[in-house]
Structures are given as structure tokens and as C-alpha cells.
Amino acid sequence: MVVTNSELLELSIKIEREGQRFYSQLAKHVDDEKVGEFLKLMVKEEAAHEIHFKKLLETECDCGWENDEDLKRLVKENFQTDIFPPLEEILSQLPRFEGLEKAFDFAIEAENVAVEFYRILGKACTNFELKTNILLLEKAEMEHCKVVGTLKKRVLENLS
């Protein structure tokens, strides 16, 4: 299995678009206005990541990741299903507190998968400029993990 730029673009778009959808829906279910604003901001950031990654892969180069075993494993293990589960499915199965907690847990896990995706991609990349840009995406996703954790704590404190 060779990992092509077009496959990576599809995966990146999948990560970012599912994040946009998930955060947009989650914003509708939180009562805290500030948390809702942050979630809407994250929707915009996910859209910006998608555009950024598309531009990165427009450059024709031998990037070094085509035969990377760690990347192949990550793709096989994490990208065969949706990264973010349907929010309505989570919320309909659990009481409000548990549903929101689980939704934020899924978001944190999905952001961690995105971090790992960009980390492995950057590690395998041999093009310095591309590697630098991928590192910036990885750092942005790491920041999302922290933000989602903080938002989760705030929402759950307000519900209890």
C-alpha cells in the first residue's frame, strides 16, 4: 500500500470537515454562550486547516511519506470509519450531562487522532517547507485538544 497525496488530502478533508460538522452541532447543544462562541470559532479553524492542507498538497514533490509504515498503520486503524461520531446519536442515547461529556470526550479523541496524523505525516516528510507547514497544523490540533478539554470542563461545571 502506497499513501498518495490525493489519499492524504481526502483524509485531511475528512478530519477537518467532520470536525466542522461536529463542533457546529455541539455549539447548538451548549447553554454557555462563551463555549458556543469558541465552538463556532473551532468550526472556522477546521475550515482554515482544510484550505491550508489543500494548498500544501498542490506542490508536486517527493514528500517521503509514500511508503511510511507508521502512516499506513494510522490510516488503516483510524480512518476506516467516521472520526467524529454523529452527535445526535450520542446525545439521544444518554442523559444531557453524560451526553455532552461523551461528546467532548469524542472531540478530544478525534483531535488526538488529527495530531497523530499530522505528526506522522511531518515525521515522514522529506520536504523542509512542507514539513514546517505540517508541524504548524499539528500544533494547531494540539491546541484544539487543550481548548476542547477546557470547554468540556466549563460546560460540565455549569451543568452540575
Would you state the pLDDT for residue 140? 92
Would you state the pLDDT for residue 44? 93
Would you state the pLDDT for residue 60? 66
Each residue's pLDDT, cut to its tens digit, for the chain (160 residues) gives 556 777 777 778 888 888 898 889 888 888 888 888 988 998 999 899 888 878 877 766 667 777 778 877 777 776 655 666 666 776 666 456 577 888 889 889 888 988 988 898 888 888 888 889 889 989 999 999 999 999 899 888 887 7
Alpha-carbon distance of 112 to 22, in angstroms, equals 15
Would you state the pLDDT for residue 146? 95
Would you state the pLDDT for residue 1? 52
- Name the CATH code of domain 5-159 (choices 1.20.1260.10, 3.40.50.300, 3.20.20.140, 1.10.3720.10): 1.20.1260.10
Inter-residue contact 99 to 49 (CB < 8 Å)? no
Inter-residue contact 83 to 15 (CB < 8 Å)? yes
Would you state the pLDDT for residue 102? 84
Among 98, 122, 102, 113, residue whose Cα is nearest residue 144: 113
Would you state the pLDDT for residue 150? 93
Torsion sign over Cα 73, 13, 137, 1:
positive
Q: Is 149 exposed, middle or buried (0-12, 13-18, 19+ CB in 10 A)?
A: middle
| Cβ partners under 8 Å of residue 44, min gap 6 | none
